[in-house]
Structure 1
Amino acid sequence: MACQKPATNQTDVSNNTDKPNIIIFYVDDLGYGDIGKNGLIGAETPEIDKLADGGILFTDVHSPHATCTPSRYSMLTGEYAFRKKAQILPGDAPLLINPNTRTLPDMLREAGYATGVVGKWHLGLGNGNVDWNKAVKPGPLEIGFDYSFLLPSTGDRVPSVYLENHNVVNLDPKDPITVSYKKNISDRPTGNDHPELLRQGADKQHGNTIINGISRIGYMKGGEKALWTDEDFPEKLAGKASDFITKHKDEPFFLYFAFHDIHVPRLPSDKFKGKSPMGLRGDVIYQMDYTTGLVMKTLRDLGIEENTLVIFTSDNGAVLSDGYDDKAIELLGDHKPTGPYAGGKYSSLEGGTRVPMIAYWPNRIKAGQTNDATFSHIDFYASFAELLGEEIPQGVAIDSKSMLPALLGESQQGRDFMVEEAFSLGMRHGKWKYIQPIPKKRRIPDFMDKKKFIKGGLSHQPQLFNLEEDIAEDKNIAEQHPEIVALMQGKLDSIKKVNTVPSK
């Protein structure tokens, strides 16, 4: 199969003799403004701020999508999620990534890396109708990871168990697990029927099987000894990550550390409960920072921090109210989770995908930088490939472009055009932000405004904003600049026509 060298904005930047370890910290629902360096009020993030002081703080980096499953798909495959029609998955969905697709961990493993994933998965498992009492596959091990320790979907969905490699942890074969997202198959109480048993109130969608005092999406029977305790996530996940790092300290490794924090349900451990005036959301921001610090301490203790490239970022923008009554809105105070940007998780506006990001690598990256280059997590694939001198086969990671010079702080040049995905497609081009209209026959969803209290940004009309003059995306100037609208829509149309092919 023909191969291509990943495209870049600047030549001759690899120039490295040793392969760095690579860690991607992928926080869940952390908004642009939710770290200290970006104006956080009501909590503190000293560990994350330390990474920024020692590396690069980016101002215009985007998650590939405004929701979790599509962002993770795009980051790991180098393909826009719309090519797969990827959406937020139920907890019993089949594996979204085709095992024949050559993924980011595949590429890194072929370059000599040990590869591991720890934390929230939410990319589906198995081929459908998973039997949780047997080996659950295909999964991470079939798409390039050597090791996995997972929350199978998210904390607000069943099954509420850990999955290590192919098997549920601590499962008693005499108490098998059954999961249904269609009907109640369990004798466990539900939140909708017994709200008096809940530690947090929940909407109807999140009001099914109660586990650890929290009602979840979906129904689960059995598996009592395998059930997780949400408050244990920080120590449990950081511990598994540290074990993986320690095991592979003498060889290059790639760790994808996917936080559950600060996603709902927000259940901080006793160490952080009540620490923030913002309530539970502020508490889990403290906890997320602490968890980051635990993993970084492992690197320092092993003496390998200097040659580890650490990426800290988030899977999409912030959301406050997302199914549970944890007083995140009432206790917000003066804090602005998306910073100066409009929208948030689910939204087509900048707050949906513009997320905090830090790159830290003491051996290579000059400390104390700020970088304004525009690019997306979808570009990790081609950037790492260029760093390691790996060729990308034709038809693989087709939407990924190397941003290595910017990622290393050697350039401020970003993408000329960058796609933003939500419930419509958007496009960034310098100061211009374009949002493609949705079809007139399609109703504009109102759940963002009415249930999430987030400005969705969708319209039946083309929308164009000048972000230099209108950072809040309040003034649609599409009619005044039809030539820019035509340029942006034409670019989107050309991108949509490109096809991908399996590669393994």
Structure 2
Amino acid sequence: MFTINKQIPLIAGLLLSSFFSYSQHHVKPQNVILIIADDIGYGDLSCYGAKAVHTPHIDQVTRKGLVFSDAHTTASTCTPSRYSIFTGEYNWRKKGTGIATGDAGMVISPEQFTMADMFRQAGYTTGAIGKWHLGLGDQQGDQNWNGFITPGPVDIGFDYSFLMAATGDRVPCVWVENQRVANHDASAPIAVSYKEPFPGEPLGKDRPELLTKLKPSPNHGHNQAIVNGISRIGYMKGGGKALWQDEYIADTIAARATGFIKKHTKEPFFLYVGTNDIHVPRYPHRRFAGKSGMGFRGDAILQFDWTVGEIIRTLKENGLFDNTLLVISSDNGPVIDDGYQDGAEALLGDHKPWGPLHTRGGKYSNFEGGTRVPFIVSWPAHVKSGTSGALISQVDLLASFAALVGQKQLPAQVTDSQDQLKALLGTSNTGRQYIIESSTSLSVSDGEWKYIAPNASPAFYELTRTQSGNASVDQLYHLKTDLAETRNLADEKPEKVAALKTLLLKEKEKGYQRDR
């Protein structure tokens, strides 16, 4: 638009620079898409250094996008981290935000303000597609799976929803569209229980010959109801034609996401897409089976990359890509064996899902491998490509998106989400002063130093072979020189321990596990 040359006075150049900065921060994107992968690790994508598996579609996004090296979830498991994304509140402030069962009541209550509410107020049509795992209905076990399920996504700001009620390894194994089971089969009414099995319904632990696709790992609990040749957590009967086929889950999510985009090309929209691929049970479509050389987990990464590619292709075909803000991230760190005998450990080879975080940590852990995740931002019309070392937390997405679309006055209960729009758009490399993370314990990091509070839980999870980061003593790690968190410096740096403890206490004093 303008050219600055040596003849323009310095003050004019500064004013022009301010104009561009102001314009960039006050132009609304036509659309916002938030893609949250499930269990993708910091080292699982080729744009983050993976060599054994290639993710070309995501790499394509990064060529015109911003790649963050210090972005974090608020928790190392899925339900709590997603709760924080949508509400802008740390999950540990509210009871009942642990890993939800398949028949959990909705974790986010209708009176809470959400990201979807904010976008709706700003004039955006809102949609949620894919993995939900935030509960449906009013109370646990009270859902009417054969009728209208309420409350649901529409009560927290979503105009349209097409969701997995929980996860692929938990019943009910059906899609829920706008709070009714999609393709409901009246001849096979659905019943779900997490207490007692249904008489006559086969269970994986008793009928292994029926497990034609995957068998459960010992002692993980994935040996109950059998749906389409895979045993799950929980008990279920019925479903009929409404039951999903695992190898088509990604296709279904991609089709619904691209369908939503095509339907709303003439109006601004916010779309949340939660993919399931890398979460167990991993059973990718035959198009990807055997393609990675790393078994089902590696194939599932390729399948996730394909889903991103389908969304990008649809945006480009409809002239929306350049003016769509797209964020790609994960709900927590990686896990290898999380319940099924899919060969993931044996076929891992040289691939490191944790990347430079080494193998200390991952899903369920206090260590960086549990919460440091891929985080990519694309908005070609306004965000320059490159890398950012800004300290970012997903809890800040709500306030940052609000600033982006001009909704700066958030309700008083949105206390944890900070406006980090400048970092998100790449005009600042500063980010947060510190972040709070949660697993069994709470930790605080300022990007250089990380403190993990003492707790009495096990230091090692045998089932997933994960180092939990739990210890009975203070832990302090210098992340700039010890990203793998191998050397506890708490005894050597008591002043730094005290400073980070003070930050953590300050946050806890705002409200800890408060009821609503």
The TM-score by the shorter chain falls in which range? over 0.9
| Distance change in 2, residues 1:493/1:500 (3 Å) | closer
> Aligned pair 1:109/2:144, yes or no?
no
Which residue number in structure 2 is paired with residue 355 of structure 1?
373
Corresponding letter in the other structure for 2:507? I
Displacement of 1:35:
0.3
Which residue number in structure 2 is paired with residue 30 of structure 1?
40
Which residue number in structure 1 is paired with residue 276 of structure 2?
260
Displacement of 1:500:
9.7
| Distance change in 2, residues 1:13/1:457 (3 Å) | farther
3-state SS, counterpart of residue 262 of structure 1: coil
> Pick from 54, 58, 74: which aligns with 1:48?
58
Which residue number in structure 1 is paired with residue 454 of structure 2?
437
Give a deviation string over 1:253-290, Cα, whole Å, max 9, x none: 00000001110000010100111111110101111000
| Distance change in 2, residues 1:71/1:195 (3 Å) | same
Which residue number in structure 1 is paired with residue 286 of structure 2?
270
> Pick from 191, 197, 200: which aligns with 2:214?
200
Q: Could you tell me whether the CA contact under 8 Å between 1:187 and 1:221 is conserved in 2?
A: no
| Distance change in 2, residues 1:29/1:107 (3 Å) | same
Give a deviation string over 1:340-398, Cα, whole Å, max 9, x none: 1131000000000000111001110112x000001111110111111122123342321
The residue correspondences of 1:218-297 to structure 2 (distance < 5 A) are: 218-297=234-313
Which residue number in structure 2 is paired with residue 492 of structure 1?
504
Corresponding letter in the other structure for 2:501? Q
> Pick from 130, 141, 148: which aligns with 1:135?
148
3-state SS, counterpart of residue 420 of structure 1: strand
Q: Could you tell me whether the CA contact under 8 Å between 2:176 and 2:182 is conserved in 1?
A: yes
Distance 1:45 1:115 in 2: 28
Displacement of 1:315:
0.3
Displacement of 1:14:
5.2
Which blocks of at least 5 consecutive residues in structure 1 are unaligned?
Answer: 1-10
The residue correspondences of 1:152-163 to structure 2 (distance < 5 A) are: 152-163=165-176
Corresponding letter in the other structure for 2:35? F
Q: Which has the higher contact order (CA 8 A, sep 6+)?
A: 1
Corresponding letter in the other structure for 1:200? L
Q: Could you tell me whether the CA contact under 8 Å between 1:186 and 1:220 is conserved in 2?
A: no
Which blocks of at least 5 consecutive residues in structure 2 are unaligned?
Answer: 1-20
Q: Could you tell me whether the CA contact under 8 Å between 1:27 and 1:260 is conserved in 2?
A: yes
- Report the RMSD for the aligned CA atoms in angstroms: 1.7
Which residue number in structure 2 is paired with residue 311 of structure 1?
327
3-state SS, counterpart of residue 33 of structure 1: coil
Displacement of 1:18:
3.9
Q: Could you tell me whether the CA contact under 8 Å between 2:28 and 2:405 is conserved in 1?
A: no
Displacement of 1:501:
13
Distance 1:426 1:149 in 2: 35
Which residue number in structure 2 is paired with residue 149 of structure 1?
162
Q: TM-score, normalised by structure 1?
A: 0.94
Q: Could you tell me whether the CA contact under 8 Å between 1:398 and 1:500 is conserved in 2?
A: no
| Distance change in 2, residues 1:121/1:186 (3 Å) | farther
3-state SS, counterpart of residue 236 of structure 1: helix
Which residue number in structure 2 is paired with residue 179 of structure 1?
192
Displacement of 1:42:
2.6
Which residue number in structure 1 is paired with residue 203 of structure 2?
190
Which residue number in structure 2 is paired with residue 8 of structure 1?
none
Displacement of 1:185:
1.2
Displacement of 1:186:
4.9
Distance 2:152 2:505 in 1: 33
Q: TM-score, normalised by structure 2?
A: 0.92
Which residue number in structure 2 is paired with residue 81 of structure 1?
91
Corresponding letter in the other structure for 2:505? D
Give a deviation string over 1:32-86, Cα, whole Å, max 9, x none: 0000011223321000011111111110000111000000000000000001131
Compare 344-353 and 423-432 and name the one that shifted more: 423-432
3-state SS, counterpart of residue 305 of structure 1: coil
Distance 1:18 1:256 in 2: 18
Distance 2:422 2:106 in 1: 34
Distance 1:17 1:407 in 2: 14
Give a deviation string over 1:240-262, Cα, whole Å, max 9, x none: 11111111111110000000111
Corresponding letter in the other structure for 2:438? E
Corresponding letter in the other structure for 1:402? D
